[in-house]
């Protein structure tokens, strides 16, 4: 089956690191994504990782992929109040162009 799960809420202090976790079920996933959604807005692509990679770093963002456990994480270093948003994990299955999204993790950054 196709399912993506995320914890619903994370609260951190400004300047700390945030780690948002995601698990997925489709072993044929080719790409995995992290999207950010601010209130009333669409989805902003933060980063993606190809399924044959273990890690990808992009400035303050680090993505770790454990394909054996089907676990994906997003680490945000030096979290800022502007990082407060909902973060969605998504997988792209096999040969389809369909993205399967998790429910989203609300990140609250306290000053």
Partner 1 sequence: ETGVTQSPTHLIKTRGQQVTLRCSSQSGHNTVSWYQQALGQGPQFIFQYYREEENGRGNFPPRFSGLQFPNYSSELNVNALELDDSALYLCASSLDREAYGYTFGSGTRLTVV
Can you give the binding site for partner 1, defined by CB under 8 A? Answer: 4, 30-31, 35, 41-45, 48, 50, 88, 90, 92, 96-104
Rounded Cα–Cα distance for residues 26 and 12 (Å) = 30
- Tell me the closest approach of the beta carbon of residue 25 to partner 1, in angstroms: 14
- Tell me the closest approach of the beta carbon of residue 81 to partner 1, in angstroms: 22
Q: Is the dihedral of CA 66, 103, 100, 82 positive or negative?
A: negative
Rounded Cα–Cα distance for residues 33 and 61 (Å) = 12
- Tell me the closest approach of the beta carbon of residue 37 to partner 1, in angstroms: 9
């Amino acid at each position: 089956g196709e399912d993506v799960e995320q914890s619903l809420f994370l609260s951190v202090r400004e300047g700390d690191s945030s780690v948002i976790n995601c698990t997925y079920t489709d072993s044929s996933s080719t790409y995995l994504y992290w999207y950010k959604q601010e209130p009333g807005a669409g989805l902003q692509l933060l980063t993606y990782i190809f399924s044959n990679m273990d890690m990808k770093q992009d400035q303050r963002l680090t993505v770790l992929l454990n394909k054996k456990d089907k676990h994906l994480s997003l680490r945000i270093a030096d979290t800022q109040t502007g990082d407060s948003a909902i973060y969605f994990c998504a997988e792209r299955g096999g040969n389809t162009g369909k993205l399967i999204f998790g429910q989203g993790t609300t990140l609250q950054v306290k000053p």
